[in-house]
Structures are given as C-alpha cells and as structure tokens.
Amino acid sequence: MGTGPECGVCAHTRLQIKDLGCKAGVVLNPGTPLSQLEYVLDVADLILVMSVNPGFGGQSFIESQVDKIRAIREMCNKRGLNPWIQVDGGVTPANAYKVIEAGCNAHGRRKFRDAEATQPLLAVEGGRFIGAMYGEEERAQALGLAGDALVAHRRQLIRPIADDFDRWLAAVEPALLPSEPLRAAVRYYRGHREALYRFIDDADVPIDNSPTEREFQNVAKLRLNMLFAGSSEGAHRACVLLGIIASCRAARVPVQAYLAWAFERLGTHRDAFNLKADQLTPAAFRLATA
C-alpha cells in the first residue's frame, strides 16, 4: 500500500501495514520535497515518483523528476537500502530510457479499451491477452501465493501469454496508421515491455499500481476543497484523518467502529486503558477485535 506524506501517514503506520503482511510504499507528488522521505525511507518497500500531477489527464513528463529519482537512489545507496522505485506519468518510448520503472499494466489496458472506438475487433483481441494475464494474477492472489510460489505461477502461466502477446503486437503494428489510437497502445506495450513484464519475475512487484493511484486520487481531488479548510492546521488535520481512513482500508477494518474504539481509549478513559500509540492503530484494533 502506498501513501503520500500529504496524507499524514507516519513511519509507524507504515510499520503496522508491514505487520499485516503488506508492502508499505511512499508516493511523492512532483512538488513533494525529498525531505518528506527522510524519516520514512527505512520502512519503505516501494517509492512511487509521480512524474505528472495526479488528477489531470494528458500531461507531459515533468523532467525535474529525473533528478528526484536519481537523488532517491543516492539516498538509498548511502543507507544500504534497496526499495523498488516506480515512476508513473507521462513516460513514453521517447523518454523511458531516463528512468528505471516498474510499469503499470492498467495504463496499457486502458489504452486498448480506448482504441475499441476506432478498431473494435483488433483492440478487443489485444485486450484479451492483457485480460488473461490479469486473470491468472487474480487466481494467484486468490490462492494466497507469495514469494517463490508466486513467481513460479507467473512464469508458468503468465509468461506464455506475454510471449504470445508480443508476437501479436509485432504482427499488428505494421498494419496500423500512425494516427490510430490502437497503434499508440501497441507501441506503449512494445516500448515498455521490460517494465510491464517485470512483475512476472519478481514477487514484490505488482501487476499494476492501481490501488496506490486510487488512494492518492482522494487527496488530489481535494485540492480546491482544501483551500477552504479554515487554516493550514485545519488542512493538516484533514489530511491526518484521510491517512487514518486509508490505514483502515488497508487493514480491512470499518472506519466508524475503529474511531469509536480509539476515541474511547484516547478520551476520558485514557488512564484506565493506558495504551501506547502502537496499541491504538487500525492494525491493533483488528487484532483486539478478531
């Protein structure tokens, strides 16, 4: 699960996410300074660098993020850390060489769906390959596969689909006009092949980063509303609450029930319960009410 500093999710919350058996990620907007990463880097399994501003379509890659990616790698090397560094937004065959990425198959899938308007038969045919890969990945998740078992499943069942898809892409592209949306979809997969298939050989890499994007959209779409939060402190508190809600979703606990439980232990009965901060998290609530 990836969250941004703007959500108010602290390093300790990320530890709780890891205690639940999940990977903890940090999402950095283009304008988020690296100082925000300093105190959570040690507990981050993944760092997602947004190379466009979330919430607005059709943006170009923000070149300054290349320096940010390089600086993050240097920070990690100095500390002996090796989290996954993902890059999302505006990456094309023309600039992909500038970054090392773990691609998002959801983007490619959307491109094929969009192309159905002009090339319905071919776009649907190509989309079936991607759908088949997602189907096998969903089956692996349903089986609870992880580590070497997940990699073995992906190599045995998803790799052949990817190879067939590659052959299909190579055969279809020459017949498409440069202006066709389907050609853009085909070139996206051919140009990002290594990144888009990286998940097959690494159990720690997801097939896409859609959960992180969906979570971050909640913050991005609040920009204008946050102008009327009353004060900077009010906006900060709102972001803290958003972080708590995101943590509840990650821990799969009902938000209202958790808040009622936590407020009881933080209010007038604080001394009676005498709980530490790590005993008041959504993860702790889940354990206490299991």
Could you report the per-residue pLDDT of 46-86, keeping only the tens digit for each?
888 888 887 776 788 888 888 888 888 788 878 888 787 88
Q: Please give the pLDDT value at position 177.
A: 93
Q: Please give the pLDDT value at position 256.
A: 93
Same domain, 77 and 119: no
Instruction: Note the pTM of the prediction, 2 decimals.
Output: 0.55
Average pLDDT, the chain: 83
Give the dihedral sign, CA 141/147/152/158: positive
Q: Indicate the length of the chain as a whole number.
A: 290
Domain that holds residue 141: 103-207
Write phi, then psi, for 82 (nearest 5 degrees). Answer: -140, 60
Q: Please give the pLDDT value at position 94.
A: 67
Q: Please give the pLDDT value at position 118.
A: 93
Give the integer Cα–Cα distance in Å for 193 and 28. 24
Q: Give the pLDDT band of residue 91 (cuts 50, 70, 90).
A: confident
Terminal Cα distance for the chain, rounded: 22
Q: Based on the structure, what is the number of domains in the chain?
A: 2
Q: Please give the pLDDT value at position 17.
A: 62
On the question of pLDDT at 97 being above 60, the answer is no
Q: Please give the pLDDT value at position 11.
A: 46
Q: Give the pLDDT band of residue 119 (cuts 50, 70, 90).
A: very high
Q: What percent of the chain has pLDDT over 90?
A: 31
Q: Please give the pLDDT value at position 100.
A: 53
Q: Give the pLDDT band of residue 231 (cuts 50, 70, 90).
A: confident
86 membership: H or E segment, kind and range: strand 84-88
Both tokens of residue 136? 């096998």
β-sheet bridge partners, residue 88:
50
Same domain, 28 and 77: yes
**How far is residue 202 from each of residues 64, 77, 146, 265, measured CA to CA in Å?**
29, 21, 10, 42
Q: Does residue 126 sit within a domain?
A: yes
Residue with tokens 């690296």: 34
β-sheet bridge partners, residue 134:
none
Same domain, 154 and 215: no
Both tokens of residue 280? 């008041």
**CA geometry: angle 127, 53, 79, nearest 5 deg:** 95
On the question of pLDDT at 15 being above 60, the answer is no
Q: Does residue 181 sit within a domain?
A: yes
CATH number reported for the structural domain that contains residue 219 in this entry: 3.20.20.70
Q: Does residue 140 sit within a domain?
A: yes
Mean pLDDT to the nearest integer, 212-219: 71
**CA geometry: angle 104, 110, 115, nearest 5 deg:** 135
The 10 Å CB-count burial string (b at 16+, else e) for 110-134 is: ebbeebbeebeebbeebbebbebbb
Same domain, 137 and 183: yes
Q: Please give the pLDDT value at position 130.
A: 95
